[in-house]
Every structure is written in structure tokens, then in C-alpha cells.
């Protein structure tokens, strides 16, 4: 207690008060006076009395010092003095201080921001119970290594597997939610009954699905996400057991999911329902529309599960050769599925940010070194005045720490801003597929990371000047002539640091160049159609809205209804001002391979293999609207509907793969068993339209008449002579005029769609961010080079003066300085290119249509850096050449 009190009072004593000092002085004075009085009384002379009193005290200054030491905490006090001194020093050279803090803030801020993303995406586990035991379960098709799971296969897998304690399926989907103001399309997911139990997620309100609630006879029930509950239903607790209408089906709300629930594969889903309403696809084993998640039994590895499921798939292949040929199993980690695509990009960015941080640290350290050189005499004087070497070193470290602290604080602020900025740049669609980013924050992980890099930087900063502060040599530094040796030493060290900086700058520049070029190539990939001036929207028709009058064949009538409504939509939209043509497709281009059909060519040998081709159901004018190039034959017409023979237009890849050296026009193909109703005739060939995402391969594709293969969910594509963006609202309005019960969603122009596609998005963000890092690295590296050369010139002023006095030309002086800079730059570029080649192989996964040793990129980087370095070293070289020899020699 008493000790604590004493310590606190000593801590308070840190605030230096003149009063305390004076008070003790007068106390000592009175002490001496009392003693002198006594001594005088004993008969000493006044001088003797005073001398004796002081002697007995043990020295006035000594006593004061001891008292002072006890008054405060000496270590803390001197540290505070050092900090004050450091602040004063830094204030005296605001240019240096601002530069140093700015560089550190840049490096630290960039690292923090990127690390926060890494933390949110890669380090924090998924918000499920024991997430590392969760598996992503899918099929493996001939064309897709991870393909959708068919419902009937899923049921067999669930029944037969021995490695999962639970296995549950999920599928995407959407409903038309009936609201007082009409229908609204809402994203949804359909799952098997135990889905949430497998994840380990419990509704915060109401209940989970009962076991068996996903069977066809079960009543329709739905669980809401927290956001939907709040937004659409005002967070009312009485929503439970209420009935809402989803796509015309009355559905009971039974629960609400927790606020932090997320499931990235169906990130946007607002309504979670069961698979009780089997659609046509789920009734056929050959139709794949689901994925599954499984929780591994204790002690079972992912490899064992893979083997187990592969064996079951094999068994099913024998049992159902028609539908299951070549259909294997693909078991992976759920976390890999969720963050697998973003991981390499984040790691590349983190590496880039860390390299930038290193450059910033090296730069600031070298600035400190330069200062330590120019302050050698100051230190020598201070040592001569009695400062201990330890104290001098501590002073130096304190200066470094003050810089680091300021830099870290500024870096934290910059990092937080950068985090916000980066997050706001991510579109809403992208964010829904990366829900884990919602947890992005300045949390303990990030703060810990900040502390670690601050400590590392502090270590670098403290060590460099200390190494350069040979205290024994200090007294010598008082002799003015002695600077050449110290100067050379620093020049060598500084030169090494600059080479390191330039190397890193080259690595970042080359990476940025490769990524930028990949992105450029990606955006300029051959599309096979003209994406400009196209407005698009998806349209959803509620299946049972177009209900069947009694006595008619269900399928035909529904199809006819859809054909009729589609024709109405086309007519209505065509009448809009500025519209040139209108088309309908089941799936827009550049959205990805998939929605495939298995075909068999009539008259070709066939052994049951799955010939997978993209299938797109399109209206007669669709291919014309998007400006696809017809190579041979004809496009189909609006009259070719279910009453006419089935026809198809194929793409070039289809023709090349299945009709090598033959003319496909007039040939026929059908499904695997060539059922008569599946046979269609090829009437035309178009050039390859990029159905796949930008970086995927072109697959064979068939374009079949929408009027023969209807869908209740399709896209409308409009070519307009006016601005395609401003047409979008009119487009939706026109469709709603046809029937207010039609839902429209995802209205975008074609160019927006391509620009916002995940592939373009990831490549663009990687290219821009690494480009930004590279630009900063170039700037910092060049500043570093300038610093070293300028310092070298200032150290060699006298030498240059002598040379010039002896007749050296200005050109020779230029040469002298530029040669020094050129050598450093050349070494830096050479080392950088070697490192960049290694780095580029690590980048390979992010590159598109470009080799890791892209010569033009390497050459461009070398030229850019060379020119920048030349400019940076020209300034000091010019200064050296304009030295007046007389003044240089006269200067000390």
C-alpha cells in the first residue's frame, strides 16, 4: 500500500516543478544555517563553521542529486527527457519528420488494411460449429471437376455413406414474394431438413426444420434471415406461424436465423425453404441442380470421405449407366469453397503491402542513418560533456520509437480509412458472395498485427543507428577532417539498402504490369458479340400464375402460356423509343459455362459418353440482337414453335468438336438414347459467343428456339440506339405493363454485367491494388536513391572541388555521380528482375493469357525505373557539377 502510494507520488513528481527544487534548496539552506549557528556556538570561525557544515552534509549538490533521484523515477524521467528532446529534434527538421511519418503511415496503413481483409476472409473461422469438419460435397463430371449434385444421387449418397455424421443438400432459387404493392422477386435457397443442424446454426426465433419437412407431402415452411425479418417484416415477433405467399404458394414462417448467419455459396438468399417442392429437375437423376455439405464423423479425414463417396458414385454408375456414367464425387473443405478463390489474391496483396512496408522502413531507416551521420559531432560534444554511451544510444532509440509511434498511429488511421474505402468499392453483389467481409473491422487480430509490425520496425530503426554509433570513435569525430571513413561506410550500407529498395520496386512493378496486362487481355477477350448498347434484365414468371384450365395437357398449355407472354413482352419492349431489337435467352452470355445438355449425334458412333454442351433457349431475334456472327446456314424464326420440327443453331466449337471435317448443317442430334421427341436438326452455325466467364474456355453450345424449350425464368436483351443505361427503368416498366405479376430483377447493361462479373472484378482489384503498391514503391525507391546520391555528393564536396581545381570538366563530374547511381540502379534492376521471375511464378494463378516472363513488361519496367532513377540522380549530379571549386576547398 505504502509502496504504491510512494510510487504514485514519485510518478506525480515527474512533472518538473521549480517549486519542489526551490523548497529543497531552502530546506538545505536552513539546515546549513542551523548547523553553522551550532558551530559558531562551539567557537569556530564563520568560515570554519560553514565549511564544517557542508562537509558534514556530504556536499550540497550531491545531496540535491540524491534527493532529486528519490523525488521522481529517474529512468522514467530521463526517458521523458529523451522523448522531449526527440520531439524537439523532429520539430526542428519538419521536412524529415513529415516524410518519415508519411512513408511509415503509407506502409503500415496499406499492410493493416490488407491484413484486415486477410483476417476477415482467411483467419477467422466460418461462423459454424467446428467449421474445419465441414465438407463441400459435389459430383465430379467429365467437364466440371466440381459439378452440381442430382437430387436422387444425393438421397443415395446420404443413405449409403459411412463417413459423414450428417449430409445435407442445398440449392439456389428465387421466389416471387407477394406484397401489397405487387410481386417482388426475392433470392432464396432450398435445403434438405437437417441443413442448419449440420452447420450447427440455430434459429434465434422459432424453430429449425423438422426432420422429414423436406419431403413432398410436407407443408410449405420457410425460415427468414435476420436482415429480411428486420427489413421486410419490421422485426415483429408475431411473424412466426404467419403465412406469406412465395411464388403463389402459401408458406408458413417458422423461424428467424441469427444476425451473424452467413452462407457464402448462397450469400444473397433471404428466404430459406426446404426441398419439399421437387421441381422437374429433381425428379430426374440426370439433372443436377444441388450441392451438399457434410459433417465428417470423428476421426474421419477428407481423403477417407472422398474415397467413400467415390466408391458410392461408382456403385451408382453401375446401377444407373444412362444417367451416372462418369459421374464421380468431389469432396473438399467447405472453407476452401468459400474463400478458395479470394485467397491467392489476398495473399498476393498482403505480400505486396508487406514489401511496401519494408521499402518504407528501409527508406526511413536510411534517412535516420543520414541524420546520424550529420549528427556525429553533436553526439561527440554531448559525450564530451559527460553523457554516458548507454544514454546516447537510448536517446537515439527514443527518436526512432517516437517516429514509429507517430507512424503507427497515422498508419492505423490510414489503414482504417483504406479499409472503408476498399469495402465501399466492392459492389453489393460481390459482397453477398463474400459475406465474411461483413466482419471486417479493426479487431484484436488487426491490432496485434499492427503491434507486431510496429515492433519489427522499431527494432530495425533502433538497431541501424546504434550499429553506426561506434562510441569509441566519437571523440575522433570532433576532429573535423575525419569524415571520409565514416562516409564510405555509410555509403556502402546505404547503397545496399537502396539496391534492396529498387529490387522490391522492380518486383512490385513487374507484378503490377503482369496483372494489369492480364486484366487488359481479360477485358479484350474475344466475346463473339457486341456488348455495347445492350440493356438486359432477368424476368421471373411464377409457374402457377399461368395455371392450366381443366382438361388440357398441363405441360403444353403452360409452355403455350409462356410463349404467349414472352411474345407480349417482346412486342411491348420493341415499342419503346430507341429500341432496335429485342431478344430472350435462358442465360445471358459471360455468365459462365453450365446449364448443359447431354447430346448424341445421329449416325455417329456412341458408347454412352456424356457429350456436354451449353444449352441456351433463345428467341428468334436474340442472336441478331447481340450481333452474333452467322457463319453458315440460317437462324430460326419465331414461327418455329412446338408445332414445328425441332431445330438448333450451334456454335463453331460444337461444329469443330462433333463434326470435324463434316458439314453439320442438316445433321441431327438428340439425347443419349435418341428419344424421338429429343431429336433436333442443325440449321445454322454461329461464331463462338462467350457464354463462359471471361477467363474460362469456350465450350460447344447449342441455341434452341425459346418457343420450343420454354423457361419461366429468362433474360430480356434489348439493343438500343439510345443510352442503354437510361433505358433500364423503362424496360422494367414495360414488362410490368404486360402483367404486374411478372417479377423483374438484376437490371443492368451488358457492359456493366461484364465489368461487374466476379472474374473481371477480382482481376481488376488485384491489378489496381498491386499497381498502387508498385507506384508507391517506385516513388519511395527513387526517393531512397536520391537520398543516397545526394548524401554522397554532400560528403564528396571537397573531393569534387579538388578534382575540378585540378582541371576536371563538369561533364566528368556528371559522369562520376551518374556512374555511381547507374551502378546501383543496374544492380537493383537486375536483382529485381530475377526476383520478379520467381514472384511471377507464384502469381501464375492470377495471370490470364500472359507468360510469367513477359518480355515487354520486364523491358518496360526496366526503362521506367531507369528513367526515374536517372531523374533522381540527375539533381544531385547537377549540384555536384555546379560546385565552385574555390568555395568547396575553402569549406571545412
- 22 interacts with other proteins by CB under 8 A: no
Stretch of 19-27, 175-183, 317-325, 775-783 lying at the interface with other proteins (CB under 8 A): 19-27
Interface residue with other proteins among 2, 18, 19, 882 (CB under 8 A) is 2
Q: Taking the complex as a whole, how short is the minimal distance between the CB of residue 48 and other proteins, in angstroms? A: 17
Q: Torsion angle, CA of 637/643/644/649, rounded to 10 degrees?
A: 50
For the bound state, the minimum distance from the C-beta of residue 508 to other proteins, rounded and expressed in Å, comes to: 54
CB of 28 to other proteins, least distance (A): 8
Which residues neighbour 299 within 8 Å (Cβ) at sequence distance 6 or greater? none
Q: Which of 19, 26, 181, 280 binds other proteins (CB under 8 A)?
A: 26
Query: Residue 6 to residues 1, 2, 9: CA-CA distances in angstroms?
Result: 9, 6, 5
Tell me whether residue 651 is exposed, middle or buried, using C-beta atoms within 10 angstroms of its C-beta: 0 to 12, 13 to 18, 19 or more.
buried
Give the nearer residue to other proteins in terms of CB position, either 57 or 409: 57
The Cβ-side half-sphere exposure at 510, using a 13 Å CA radius, reads: 30
Measured CA to CA, the distance from residue 265 to residue 273 in angstroms comes to 16
Instruction: Please list, in sequence order, all residues whose beta carbon lies within 8 angstroms of the beta carbon of residue 343, skipping any fewer than 6 positions away.
Output: 121, 122
- The torsion defined by the Cα of 681, 683, 685 and 690, in degrees rounded to 10, comes to -70
Strands 182-191 and 271-274, by their bridges, are parallel
Which one, 17 or 884, has the nearer CB to other proteins? 17
Q: Are 194 and 274 in contact (CB under 8 A)?
A: no
Task: Give the binding range for other proteins (CB under 8 A) out of 6-14, 78-86, 555-563, 803-811.
Answer: 6-14
Which 3 state secondary structure label does DSSP give 338? helix
Identity of the residue, 59 or 125, whose beta carbon is nearer to other proteins in the bound complex: 59
**Nearest-approach distance from CB 1 to other proteins, in angstroms:** 9
Residue number, 9 or 284, with CB nearest to other proteins: 9
Q: How far is the CB of 27 from other proteins (least distance, A)?
A: 5
Minimal distance, residue 14 CB to other proteins, in Å:
13
Residue 6 or 834 with smaller CB distance to other proteins: 6
Residue list 47-106, contact with other proteins (CB under 8 A): 56-59, 62-63, 66-67, 69-71
The closest alpha carbon to 258, from 220, 292, 293, 223, belongs to: 223
CB atoms within 10 A of CB 499: 24
Of the pair 37, 553, the CB lying nearest other proteins is at: 37
CB of 34 to other proteins, least distance (A): 4
Distance separating alpha carbons of residues 549 and 531, to the nearest angstrom: 41
Question: Residue 223: in which H helix or E strand, if any?
Answer: strand 221-224
Q: Which of 14, 22, 37, 890 binds other proteins (CB under 8 A)?
A: 37
| φ and ψ at residue 451, rounded to 5 degrees | -60, -40
Task: Pick between residue 65 and residue 737 the one whose CB is nearest to other proteins.
Answer: 65
With respect to other proteins, which residue has the nearer C-beta, 33 or 532?
Answer: 33
Question: Contact between 340 and other proteins (CB under 8 A)?
Answer: no
Torsion sign across C-alpha atoms 161, 167, 173, 177 = positive
Q: Which is nearer to other proteins, 74 or 250 (CB)?
A: 74
Q: Is 744 left (phi over 0), alpha (psi -120 to 50) or beta?
A: beta
DSSP H or E run through 251: strand 249-256
**For other proteins, which residue of 25, 33, 165, 737 counts as binding (CB under 8 A)?**
33
- Among residues 14, 17, 25, 34, which is the contact residue for other proteins, using CB under 8 A? 34
Number of residues that bind other proteins (CB under 8 A): 29
List residues bridging with 540 in a β-sheet.
713, 743
Cell of 572: 411491348
CA distance 487 to 492: 9
Q: Does 384 bind other proteins (CB under 8 A)?
A: no
Residue 56 or 284: the one with the smaller Cβ distance to other proteins is: 56
Find the shortest distance in angstroms from Cβ 499 to other proteins: 50
Is 31 among the residues that bind other proteins (CB under 8 A)?
yes
Nearest-approach distance from CB 386 to other proteins, in angstroms: 21
Residues contributing to the site for other proteins (CB under 8 A): 2-3, 5-6, 9-10, 23-24, 26-28, 30-31, 33-35, 37-38, 56-59, 62-63, 66-67, 69-71
Amino acid at each position: 500500500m505504502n509502496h504504491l502510494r510512494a510510487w504514485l507520488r514519485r510518478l506525480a513528481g515527474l512533472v518538473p516543478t521549480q517549486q519542489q527544487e526551490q523548497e529543497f534548496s531552502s530546506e538545505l539552506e536552513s539546515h546549513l544555517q542551523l548547523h553553522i549557528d551550532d558551530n559558531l556556538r562551539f567557537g569556530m570561525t564563520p568560515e570554519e563553521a560553514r565549511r564544517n557544515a557542508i562537509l558534514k552534509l556530504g556536499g550540497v549538490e550531491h545531496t540535491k542529486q540524491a534527493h532529486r533521484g528519490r523525488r521522481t523515477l529517474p529512468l522514467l524521467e530521463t526517458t521523458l527527457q529523451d522523448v522531449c528532446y526527440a520531439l524537439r529534434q523532429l520539430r526542428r527538421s519538419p521536412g524529415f519528420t513529415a516524410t518519415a511519418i508519411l512513408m511509415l503511415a503509407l506502409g503500415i496503413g496499406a499492410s493493416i488494411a490488407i491484413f484486415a481483409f486477410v483476417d476477415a476472409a482467411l483467419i477467422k473461422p466460418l461462423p459454424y460449429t467446428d467449421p474445419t469438419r465441414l465438407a463441400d460435397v459435389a459430383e465430379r463430371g467429365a467437364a466440371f471437376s466440381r459439378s452440381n449434385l442430382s437430387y436422387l444421387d444425393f438421397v443415395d449418397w446420404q443413405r449409403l455413406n459411412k463417413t459423414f455424421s450428417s449430409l445435407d443438400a442445398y440449392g439456389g432459387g428465387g421466389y416471387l414474394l407477394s406484397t401489397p404493392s405487387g410481386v417482388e422477386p426475392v433470392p432464396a435457397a432450398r435445403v434438405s431438413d437437417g441443413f442448419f443442424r449440420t452447420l450447427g446454426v440455430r434459429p434465434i426465433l422459432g424453430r429449425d426444420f423438422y426432420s422429414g419437412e423436406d419431403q413432398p407431402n410436407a407443408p410449405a415452411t420457410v425460415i427468414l434471415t435476420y436482415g429480411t425479418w428486420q427489413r421486410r417484416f419490421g422485426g415483429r415477433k408475431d411473424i412466426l406461424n404467419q403465412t406469406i405467399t412465395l411464388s403463389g404458394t402459401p408458406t408458413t414462417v417458422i423461424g428467424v436465423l441469427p444476425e451473424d448467419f452467413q452462407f457464402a455459396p448462397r450469400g444473397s438468399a433471404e428466404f430459406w425453404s426446404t426441398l419439399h417442392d421437387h421441381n422437374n429437375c429433381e425428379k430426374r437423376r440426370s439433372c443436377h441442380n444441388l450441392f451438399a455439405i457434410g459433417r465428417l464423423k470423428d476421426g474421419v479425414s477428407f481423403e477417407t470421405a472422398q474415397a467413400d463417396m467415390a466408391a458410392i458414385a461408382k456403385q451408382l454408375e453401375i446401377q444407373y449407366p444412362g444417367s451416372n456414367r462418369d459421374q464421380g464425387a468431389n469432396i473438399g473443405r467447405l472453407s476452401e469453397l468459400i474463400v478458395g478463390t479470394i485467397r491467392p489474391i489476398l495473399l498476393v496483396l498482403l505480400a505486396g503491402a508487406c514489401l511496401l512496408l519494408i521499402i518504407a522502413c528501409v527508406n526511413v531507416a536510411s534517412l535516420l542513418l543520414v541524420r546520424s551521420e550529420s549528427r556525429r559531432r553533436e553526439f561527440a560534444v554531448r559525450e564530451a560533456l559527460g553523457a554516458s554511451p548507454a544514454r546516447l544510444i537510448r536517446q537515439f532509440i527514443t527518436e526512432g520509437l517516437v517516429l514509429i509511434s507517430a507512424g503507427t498511429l497515422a498508419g492505423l488511421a490510414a489503414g482504417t480509412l483504406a479499409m472503408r474505402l476498399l469495402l465501399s468499392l466492392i459492389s453489393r453483389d460481390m459482397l453477398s458472395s463474400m459475406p465474411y467481409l461483413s466482419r471486417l473491422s479493426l479487431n484484436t487480430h488487426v491490432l496485434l498485427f499492427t503491434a507486431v509490425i510496429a515492433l519489427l520496425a522499431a527494432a530495425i530503426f533502433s538497431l541501424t543507428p546504434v550499429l553506426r554509433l561506434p562510441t569509441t570513435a566519437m571523440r575522433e569525430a570532433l576532429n573535423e577532417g575525419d569524415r571520409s571513413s565514416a562516409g564510405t561506410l555509410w555509403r556502402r550500407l546505404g547503397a545496399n539498402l537502396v539496391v534492396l529498395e529498387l529490387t522490391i520496386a522492380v518486383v512490385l512493378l513487374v507484378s503490377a504490369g503482369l496483372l494489369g496486362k492480364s486484366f487488359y487481355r481479360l477485358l479484350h477477350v474475344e466475346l463473339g458479340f457486341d456488348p455495347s448498347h445492350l440493356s438486359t434484365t432477368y424476368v421471373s414468371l411464377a409457374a402457377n400464375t399461368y395455371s392450366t384450365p381443366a382438361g388440357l395437357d398441363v405441360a403444353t398449355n403452360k409452355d403455350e402460356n409462356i410463349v404467349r407472354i414472352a411474345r407480349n413482352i417482346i412486342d411491348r419492349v420493341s415499342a419503346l423509343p430507341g429500341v432496335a431489337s429485342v431478344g430472350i435467352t435462358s442465360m445471358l452470355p459471360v455468365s459462365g459455362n453450365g446449364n448443359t445438355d447431354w447430346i448424341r449425334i445421329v449416325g455417329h458412333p456412341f458408347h454412352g459418353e456424356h457429350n456436354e454442351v451449353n444449352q441456351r433457349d433463345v428467341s428468334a431475334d436474340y442472336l441478331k440482337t447481340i450481333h452474333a456472327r452467322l457463319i453458315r446456314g440460317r437462324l430460326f424464326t419465331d414461327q418455329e414453335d412446338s408445332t414445328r420440327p425441332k431445330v438448333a443453331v450451334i456454335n463453331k466449337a460444337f461444329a469443330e468438336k462433333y463434326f470435324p471435317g463434316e458439314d453439320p448443317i442438316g445433321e441431327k442430334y438428340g439425347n443419349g438414347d435418341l428419344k424421338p421427341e429429343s431429336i433436333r436438326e442443325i440449321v445454322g452455325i454461329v461464331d463462338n459467343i462467350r457464354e463462359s466467364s471471361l477467363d474460362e474456355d469456350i465450350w460447344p453450345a447449342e441455341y434452341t428456339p425459346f418457343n420450343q424449350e420454354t423457361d419461366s425464368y429468362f433474360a430480356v436483351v434489348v439493343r438500343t440506339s439510345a443510352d442503354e443505361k437510361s433505358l433500364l427503368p423503362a424496360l422494367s416498366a414495360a414488362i410490368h405493363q404486360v402483367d404486374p405479376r411478372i417479377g423483374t430483377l438484376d437490371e443492368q447493361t451488358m457492359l456493366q454485367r461484364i465489368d461487374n462479373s466476379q472474374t473481371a472484378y477480382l482481376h481488376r482489384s488485384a491489378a489496381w491494388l498491386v499497381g498502387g503498391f508498385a507506384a508507391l514503391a517506385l516513388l519511395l525507391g527513387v526517393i531512397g536513391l536520391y537520398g543516397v546520391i545526394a548524401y554522397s555528393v554532400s560528403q564528396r564536396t571537397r573531393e569534387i572541388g579538388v578534382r575540378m581545381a585540378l582541371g576536371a570538366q563538369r561533364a566528368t563530374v556528371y559522369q562520376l555521380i551518374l556512374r555511381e547511381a547507374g551502378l546501383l540502379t543496374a544492380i537493383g534492376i537486375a536483382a529485381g528482375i530475377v526476383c520478379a521471375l520467381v514472384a511471377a511464378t507464384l502469381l501464375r494463378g492470377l495471370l490470364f493469357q500472359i507468360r510469367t516472363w513477359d518480355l515487354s513488361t520486364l523491358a518496360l519496367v526496366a526503362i521506367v525505373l531507369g528513367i526515374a532513377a536517372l531523374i533522381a540522380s540527375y539533381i544531385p549530379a547537377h549540384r555536384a557539377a555546379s560546385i565552385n571549386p574555390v568555395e568547396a576547398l575553402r569549406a571545412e
